[in-house]
A and B are shown apart, each in its own frame.
Chain A
């Protein structure tokens, strides 16, 4: 296992000219982690981390859900859209948290609680999509060697 990603990736992305994504209320379980940068784990990576700007030891693994679940159709409520000041669909980008099982042979995506970012304002929020019967833990349908 190499560790080349962390020093190279984080230093590059931590530079001053990259605007942080701000989660004003933090996320459930991490109320004080409010500023993130998006870091690719590898070049052309399927997975990224929402890396905390303030605490380098905290990052959340995420991925674009449609890479794995093309039919994923999260519906944001009016309250959610207003809260993030989303005026049109292009304002919003969606990443879903990813977990890896203990043996690291399977990974799971949280389709119930995506991170939604307004790319116009660079503000984000973890939105819990209630009443849409979305799984908290969907196994990624990866064909792994």
Chain B
């Protein structure tokens, strides 16, 4: 891993298009600003990891069958509490 020391207001550049700037250092937290092309998604790593795991859980090979619960028809749906979220 490349290790660089930066102060608030200083940046690093990744490739030609990604700039990460340290905006503020306070207490145990650092605020970062990320300038990246629009086609590059930027995520907090732990949330990205959770979404990745959830995607793996949502993936199926339909040729091997589908759980019955997923055969529910739209018109048969009744919700326990329509306002719940």
A residues near B, CB below 8 A? 1-3, 5-7, 9-10, 24-25, 27-30, 39, 41-47, 49, 51, 56-62, 67-72, 79, 82-83, 97-100, 104-107, 110-113, 125-126, 128, 130, 136-138, 141-144
Q: Closest CB-CB distance, B32 to chain A, in whole Å?
A: 14
- Further contacts, 8 of them, CB under 8 A, given A100-B69, A141-B82: A5-B66, A39-B62, A47-B71, A59-B60, A104-B68, A126-B55, A128-B51, A142-B77
Size of B's binding interface in residues, CB under 8 A: 43
Which chain B residues border A142 with CB–CB below 8 Å? 69, 72, 77, 79-80
Distance of A57 Cα from B44 Cα, bound (Å): 30
B residues near A, CB below 8 A? 38-39, 41, 43-44, 47-48, 50-85
Q: Is the CB of A45 within 8 A of B71?
A: yes
Total of A-B residue pairs, C-beta within 8 Å: 155
Distance of A33 Cα from B48 Cα, bound (Å): 17
Taking a contact as CB atoms closer than 8 A, the residue among B38, B61, B76, B85 that contacts A57 in the complex is B61
Distance of A6 Cα from B43 Cα, bound (Å): 34
Which chain A residues border B85 with CB–CB below 8 Å? 69, 71-72, 111, 138
Q: Is the CB of B62 within 8 A of A136?
A: no
Distance of A111 Cα from B64 Cα, bound (Å): 26
Q: Closest CB-CB distance, B62 to chain A, in whole Å?
A: 4
